[in-house]
Chain A
Amino acid sequence: MSQVHPEEIELARFSDGEAGVGGAGHLRWCARCRSVVADYRWLQDEITATLATAADAVPVPRPKWWVVQERLFASRRRQVTGGRISAVASVVLTVCLMLSLSPVLATAAIAQTARTLPPAAVVAPAPVTAVVSGGRMASVATPTPAISRDEVTSSPTPAFVLPPTPPEPET
């Protein structure tokens, strides 16, 4: 026989028919707790009746199917427009990425080509010649002569040849 009164929450649970709640034995002899449980049972009935009455008394508006339909169409339209926008955005993004990455890719391709050439081949930079035309100086790169792969690989000891010094420009 428990002398301690269960907490109010315990009694609220007990009133809802929850078995196994502590203090069930206590209720057999405690009139005070029994009265609290009775209060809760009355309250439950009142809540049920009040909610049912309020739900019955509220005037239910006529179902407005056209409103739901219109909102459904609007949401579908938004979905389609959103899909188109995201498709266009992804295409634009892809193009931008490709454009921004193209120098990097080109550098990588040059590096790859350089790696595939035999390490012995050393190609000297092209000589730079200054051309004076109409009193204004401009530098022009001389095109590097093409070296065939056979030429490069056939020479056993490649010699590094210094490019000729470009002539001093006349002032």
Chain B
Amino acid sequence: MTDADAIARAIEGGGAAQRALYEAHHAAAFRLAYLLLQDACDAEEVVQDAFVYVFRNLRRYDPARGSFWAWLRVVLVSRCRNERRRRQRLRLVSLELLDAAGQAPADPKPDSDPANVLERLGARRVVWEALQRVSPGARDALTLRYYEGLSYAEIAATLGCSTDAARARVAHGKAQLRRLLAAPEEEEEMVCKSGVTRAAKVG
């Protein structure tokens, strides 16, 4: 059964067709979500959430605008960004609570990578860890460019920005990564300082 057949049947309320679509795209969706979130549990949650949204809004899918996977990817990337924002808020709240209780936070960023990922990465672990420190917008753009192999126009459509902005995000992501790999500690310090300055300005 092709995606088009499955979608036609799923729109008519076919549970089997929905299941076929889910099983066909689940693995790819999970891998992409994992690369964007770097957390297997969150990735699974986000994938389920994206599929629920897609199945509820299947009538809105327009094959003329792209494949089913392209549409699912847009939904998935958007959900991942929401999840990251939620996580950020939760982290801020929990840190505030810890501060209020007079306790120092134990580990604000626990290592959430499965062991076999780190083992398989080997020497590339340095690049993987540096990627986790790149700003989220740039990391999304890099993942879509170098993992999904998308053009800048496709990245722009997925991230909801202009093509020039997509180009800039990829270029800035690479520049950030290069600096991180050249002097990881220095760059991290710079990122922290700029974060503190930004927070102070916002505050």
Binding site for B on A (CB under 8 A): 8-9, 12-13, 15-16, 18, 39-40, 43-44, 46-61, 63-65, 67-69, 71-72, 75-76
Contact = CB atoms under 8 A, between A and B. Distances in A.
Contacts of B128: 50, 54
15 contacts: A9-B171, A16-B174, A43-B174, A47-B146, A51-B147, A54-B117, A58-B31, A58-B116, A60-B26, A60-B30, A61-B30, A63-B23, A65-B23, A68-B22, A72-B55
Given A9-B172, A55-B34, A56-B120, A47 B131 contact: yes
B124 A50 contact: yes
Contacts, number: 114
B177 interface: yes
Interface string B18-58: 11001100110011101100001000100011011001100
A7 B130 CA distance: 22
A60 B141 CA distance: 23
Given A8-B178, A43-B178, 16 more contacts: A8-B175, A9-B168, A15-B174, A40-B178, A44-B146, A47-B131, A47-B146, A48-B146, A50-B131, A51-B147, A53-B124, A55-B31, A58-B34, A60-B30, A69-B15, A75-B52
A143 B193 CA distance: 88
B80 interface: no
Contact of A64 (B48, B146, B175, B178): B48
A60 B33 CA distance: 11
Contacts of B146: 44, 47-48, 51
B160 to A, nearest CB: 21
A51 B32 CA distance: 10
Contacts of B167: 13, 18
